[in-house]
Each structure stands twice: as C-alpha cells, then as structure tokens.
Amino acid sequence: MKAVIGKSRRIAWHTAFAAVVLLASHAASAQGWTPQRHVGLVVPGGPGGSLDVTARTVHRIWDDLKLLPVTSTIVNKSGGGHLIGYEYVRQHPGDPHYLGLATSVLLSGHIAGYVPFTYTDVTPIAFLVTEYVAYAVRANSPIKTGRDLIEVLRKDPASLSFGMGGTRGGTYHIAAGLPFQSAGVDIKPIKMAFFAGQHATQLLGGHVDVAVGGLANVIPHIESGKLRIIAVSSPKRLEGVLASVPTWEESGFQGAYGSRRSIFAPKGIAAEQVAYWEGVLRKVVESEDFRRTAEKYQWDVTFKGAAETRKFMEQEFVQLKRVMTYLGLAKQ
C-alpha cells in the first residue's frame, strides 16, 4: 500500500512539474524573443562621420532606456563604399544579434555595380531618418550662395575641387550631380575626391574648395564660424542655424535629395525577432533624447516599420536607378 501511495505521489509531482514547465514555456512564448547574447550595431563607416553619429545616437538611447537585456556595442567597419560593413552583417545569416546601419548606398551601390547585393538580400527592420546634404565652403570663400557656385562651374567646371562625404555613385555624389545637371554644368571635368565622412576636415584643411556631405559633420563648424553652408538639399528650408540657407529649389535648380538611414539585420531571421527590433527602434525614435538630437542635426524623422521600410526601399530603388542612369552612374 505504501509503495502505491509513493508511486502516486511521484506521478503527481512529475505532472505538476511538467505543468509548471509548460506554463513557463507559454509565458516565454507570449513575451516573444529577446536577445540572448551580445549585440553588435555595425556602422559602414569610420568613427566621427555622420553615419557614426546616427548609430551612436541609437545605441546610446537604447542603452540609457535599458531596452536590451544584454550588452551591445558599435562596430565600425569602413571601406569599400559601405560594402565591408554591409557584408560583415550578411556573413551572419539567421542571427538577430547583428544589426547594420544602412543608407541609400545599399541601393545605389548595387545600381552602380560595386555592391553585389541589395535590400532584398538582407532583412529591413526600420527606417529612421533622412539627413539632408550640406554644400559648404570655408568662411573666407568668395562663393556665398549655391547660385554663385553654379556660375563658377558654368564658366570653368575644373576650377573647383570637391570633397565628397561618401563614395563614387553614393548618396552625396548623386546629391551633387542633381543641381549641377539641372544647371547644365559639364560634370565630367569637375574634380571630386571621396573621404567617407572626413569631407569637412578636408575642407577645413584647405585640401578642397567645397564639401558635400552630411549635416552632422558640418553644423559644429558652422556654429564655430569656420565654415559656411551655401545650399541644402532639403525640399524646404531647415531651421536653427540653417534657417537662412536657401534650398537648391529656391535657387532655381533641382536638388531635393537626402541620405536615408535605416536599420537592417541578416537575411533569415524569424518574424518575432524582426518584431522585437522594430519595437526597440520605435521606442528609440519616439524618445525625447532622439527628438533633441534630430533637431540639433536637422534630421527629418519618419519612422517606418519593417514592412513599410521594405516597400520604401523597393520604390527608392526604382527612382535611384532612373536618376543614376541619367547621371551616367548606373552600371550598364
């Protein structure tokens, strides 16, 4: 009789234990996926550039708000016109602990032929901001406006040198080409050098006459009085220290274009993992800290979730291919 009672107790205990495990499993499932180990946010550029500023803002905020249950860090992978950074993320298929910061180069680089993959080969997670492009000169430059710049180039396209904040065929190259093409300037003789985020430094050092790149790199030097912005690529005037700077459209030329900033993961991650990161990034963008930073750097904040981001990239790819073919930058 004792043996029967003991056996009954053991069966009851095992049944209760199994029920607890099952409940715990259901609870974990209801809560969804969370990172299990260290997370890397990969920047396809070096420290200090406008891409790095965006990524470090995102990283700082999710850290301050304690949105991740694990440690995380910024991983700078510059070179190859963003190719090295993008490829580093792609080398970890199915692993949601690797994220990358993408710009329009994920699309334009593929169109130009130097990035062998595009948005369909990764997992878009969220669209964050558009950073418009600054066209800057040193404070003592005789060029005061965008129209002045166009007139100089019309007379002698080879008379000025340009420091571009990206790579050939990238966002800033396209942003420079649009107003020049609109003005009828012969683009071929124009001297352009690409410095991947160091364009403002090159301009300050007197190595180039004009810098074309992200606002985040230039605004501190505008505030110090060392540089002057002569035009911006935004569809309407920006605010703050840039309120007096005309857009290209105001000057009579086509030039509305910006650097898109989005977050992607490797291909093959699960839907619940996409949802987790989408939720984290939404909280980051909706935070007061992000709003203040966006105002400082004049970012145009337009959050899009994973599905919207993918659709946006699909539409942007078609538009970029048309523009780049027109400018002679698309691979034939």
Tens digit of each residue's pLDDT (9 = 90 or more) over 55-94: 999 999 999 999 999 999 999 999 888 999 999 999 999 9
> How many structural domains compose the chain?
2
Is residue 307, in this structure, part of any structural domain at all?
yes
125 within 8 A of 295, measured Cβ to Cβ: no
Q: What is the pLDDT of residues 133-160, one digit of tens each?
A: 999 999 999 999 999 999 999 999 999 9
Local confidence band at 179 (pLDDT 50, 70, 90 cut-offs): very high
What average pLDDT score do residues 175-191 get?
A: 89
Last residue of a domain, one of 215, 242, 269: 242
pTM greater than 0.75 (yes/no): yes
Shared domain for 122 and 141, answered yes or no, is: no
Any domain includes 14? no
Could you say which of 209, 242, 275 is where a domain stops? 242
Q: Contact 127/302 with Cβ under 8 angstroms?
A: yes
Residue 87 exposed, middle or buried by CB count within 10 Å (0-12, 13-18, 19+): middle
Contact between residue 307 and residue 162 where contact means Cβ atoms under 8 Å apart = no
Query: When comparing pLDDT for 317 and 199, which is higher?
Result: 317
Query: Residue 302 CA to chain centroid, in angstroms?
Result: 13
Mean pLDDT, rounded, for 155-181: 86
For the chain, what percent of residues have pLDDT higher than 90?
Answer: 66
- Are residues 227 and 166 part of one domain? yes
Q: Which of 214, 242, 270 is the last residue of a domain?
A: 242
Range of the domain at 193: 132-242
Say yes or no: 125 and 262 in one domain.
Answer: yes
